[in-house]
Structure 1
Amino acid sequence: MDLSRVNIREALRCLPKGEPHWQRIKPGCFVGFAPSAKAGEGTWHARAYDPDTRRYRRTAFGAFPLLAGNAKFAAAKEEAEKFARLVESGGHNEAQPETVADACKAYAKSRPEAEHRFRRYVDSDPIANVKLNKLHRRHLKEWRERLEAQPALVSRRKNGEPVLRKRAASTVNRDIAVFRAALAKVLAPGAPNSEAAWQEALKATPNADGRRTLYLDRSERRKLLEKIDAEAAPFVRALCLLPLRPGALAALTAGDFDKRTSELTIGKDKTGKPRRIKLPSDAAALFAEQAKNKLPGAALFMRANGNAWNKDSWKKPIAAAVAAAGLPGDATAYTLRHSTITDLVSAGLPLLTIAQISGTSAEMIERHYGHLASDAAVKALSELAL
């Protein structure tokens, strides 16, 4: 439905009870047109989703009789967007983002992972200052080319040049996905194959999921723990016990663990949404030991210098332990997460449960580990054979 075209609106038939024909402007925002049952002009409407009531609210604007036919849609669209902003803000008008940087900042308020990516790839780029109402496909195409040309950091050494590699298509896809989501919050998709089609420049590269396939079985993970530096041992052991992202584990504080119920609240993660999980006895004992005599705001897994672990501090001890244990050289902290998820899927745990524990979607678990669930089912059926 393209209500911006006069000939399309004139050809519309009246719906029962004067119900409008709707066109989606952006998620949760629609503009509507109800043709007149008589010879008069049709009326314009708006529909917006209210997150508080989880229902849509509606309003009518009239016919805009003083405007030319080809200008009515633009006026109705503008009014519909204003109405949507009013509904979303609970009746309070808020300042709307004007530039790409504004849109990213608004999107990243409750999403730490997005904020990190925007700071690295958007805020310092020329695209940050482009007005949203002037944003075209070419701006985003040029931004994407600049992003793809940036090398990825493999490691940072105290002495000597940093080790870099070509940015993988899967990494570019992840950066683009967050950026696309931020713009989609404030921009409607442009007409296909036009300069207004900003979304076309941000399509993901197909078949570039960057899947991590290196797996360490339990015996190999035990070897790693035997060789790991004493300072890093609790942190790495936790990675072997739970399918958490290393960054999410490092961000935990002593107050995030409830010793009485063995429950852990995971706040800072890729999704930006906190979740609470029940820990098994081995993990609960480890976390209780780490939380002992610490203030609630202190890092749960603390280094000898009192700081929390980060990707630059855990790389070296893990790499040294990998070499000492004779494990594959490309094993990393993230390999432990992948290996733990693999074991959970192979054991037959429901994929939705694994997704909730690991902080990802069931779709991603199904995409990358679904074949293991099938193998587990086959194994279970074979055990039933007489």
Structure 2
Amino acid sequence: MACDLSKVGERERLKARREPYWNRLRAGCFLGFRPSKRGGAGSWVARAYDEDKRSYRLKALGDFGDLAGKDRFTAAKKEAEAFAEQVEAGGVVVVRLETVGDACQAYSETKPDAEGRFKRYVYGDPLAKVRLDKLRKRHLMDWRARLEATPAQVSRRKKGEKRIRERAPATINRDMAALRAALTKVIAPGTPKTEAAWQEALRAIPNADRQRTLYLGRGQRRTLLAQVQPEAAPFVEALCLLPLRPGAIAALTVGDFDKRTNELTIDNDKIDKRRRIQVPDQAATLLASQSEDKLPTAPIFMRANGKPWDKNSWKLPIRVAAEEANLPAGVTAYTLRHSTITDLVQAGLPLLTIAQISGTSAEMIEKHYGHLTSDFAVAALSQLAF
């Protein structure tokens, strides 16, 4: 919703919500306003882009309640611009975190994939307003109960019937993991078996992960790629060639690929540890062609609108292509990751090496793929060429 925050009348007509209403002051600098649910002055927020971190930084500016309504925008704008200059100069101001919601917002700055979960299950929940210094196990147990009772949406289409199902244990674990990671960043675990032991309420449900069983052979993957729409074809081809998470491939930038050595740096992934891998010739050719005439910070795999791919944009092309190729139901982007990892396991590559390349643990590879037998004695990433 576009609005002019400099006008008092427009601000007063805005509906209260957690996400601020934003005005762009200049490139990389935004001023946000969050109306008060109780009819107060509302609060202002600054947002500035940090080139080093490749993410936005936020700063709460207060409500400027001591000023007349017509003067608040001017004062907030001045502070937002000063904050942006400080961020651009490298002197980032650390935002004070007071509530669970604040901790989640801070965490999502570097882990954007978690933001969607927080928007759906935390920000609108009473838990978001609980102060971090007052957080107790009962708060999280109540939140967990509400989460488990919330049906999972099978389809998120805006039009048509909404399909839902009971929330699976594995889904609950993923939702809890994001919140647990955000809280661990800012508060220490409490004394076990006490109300202060907030972490005990977020323990994962054991044996919730189902074994990956849907596998597409090389021929099936070629058929899928032949059916996928041209815009998505390079991204899907990368999924077929590299055993990486779809989100990690979508986050790759031109500067992450060294075409002189065929080395690829994976910096934005589920795991925090940065890693470098050497890619096979077919994948290197793809990465080089998609990087041509782009700036180092540009996404390697770019949509027609210039934005990188995400799970909401890659799901439909893959599903449609799978249906047109008459592939088994349930094919997703993660099916391609599973298939490439399966190829490496069957080819005899050591599990530890596969784990390092794919960004997971040897224990997880053993758990999901240890039942496979090796047909060959030697393997490398080049086994993924198809």
Which range, TM-score by smaller chain?
0.5 to 0.7
Q: Verify the 8 A CA contact 2:265 2:274 in the aligned structure 1.
A: yes
Letter in 1 for 2:349: L
TM (norm. structure 1) is: 0.66
1:13 matched residue in structure 2: none
> Any idea what SS the aligned residue of 2:154 has?
strand
Aligned to 2:178: 178
> Unpaired runs of 5+ in structure 1?
1-93, 382-386
What is aligned with 2:225? 225
After TM superposition, list the pairs within 5 Å mapping 1:143-162 onto structure 2.
143-157=143-157, 159-162=159-162
Q: Distance in 2 between matches of 1:125 and 1:196?
A: 20
Alignment of 1:252-263 (within 5 A): 252-263=252-263
Q: Structure 1 residues 291, 176: closer, same or farther in 2, change over 3 A?
A: same
CA deviations over 1:187-207 (Å, ceiling 9, x no partner): 333342x43333332221122
Farther-moved stretch of structure 1 (175-184 vs 200-209): 175-184
2:305 is the alignment partner of 1:292: no
Alignment of 1:29-48 (within 5 A): none
Q: Secondary structure at the match of 2:153?
A: strand
Write the letter of the residue equivalent to 1:376: S
For the 8 Å contact 2:347–2:377, the answer to whether it is kept is no
- Consecutive unaligned residues of structure 2, counting only runs of 5 or more, are 1-93, 379-386
Contact 1:169 1:210 in 2 (8 A): no
List, as ranges, runs of 4+ consecutive aligned residues in structure 1 with deviation greater than 6 Å. none
2:140 corresponds to: 140
- Structure 1 counterpart of 2:188: 187
**Root-mean-square deviation (CA), in Å?**
2.6
Change (3 A) 1:155 1:348: same
TM superposition shift of 1:114: 4.2
Q: Distance in 1 between matches of 2:150 and 2:142?
A: 13
Name the counterpart of 2:366: 366
Work out the CA distance in 2 between the residues paired with 1:232 and 1:165.
Answer: 29
Sequence identity percentage: 64
| C-alpha separation in 1, matches of 2:157 and 2:104 | 32
Contact 2:255/2:297 (8 A) holds in 1: yes
Contact 1:156 1:312 survives alignment (8 Å)? no
Structure showing greater radius of gyration is: 1
Q: Would you say how many aligned residue pairs link Structure 1 and Structure 2?
A: 284
Residues of 1 paired with 2:231 and 2:209: CA distance?
34
- 1:250 and 1:301 in contact (8 A); partners too: yes
CA distance in 2, matches of 1:132, 1:338: 39
Partner in structure 1 of residue 216 of structure 2: 216
SS in 2 for 1:173: helix
Residues 150 and 376 (structure 1 numbering): CA distance in 2 closer, same or farther, change over 3 Å? Answer: same
Q: In the superposition, relative to structure 1, how do residues 169 and 261 fare at CA in structure 2: closer, same or farther (>3 Å)?
A: same
Distance 2:353 2:121 in 1: 34
Aligned residue for 2:371, secondary structure, equals helix
Cα shift at 1:291: 1.0
Aligned-pair CA distance for 1:282: 0.6
How far is the alpha carbon of 1:211 from its aligned partner?
A: 3.4
Name the SS of the counterpart of 1:371 in structure 2. coil
- TM-score, normalised via structure 2 length: 0.66
Find the counterpart in structure 1 of residue 202 from structure 2. Answer: 202
1:243 aligned partner: 243
For the 8 Å contact 2:189–2:197, the answer to whether it is kept is no
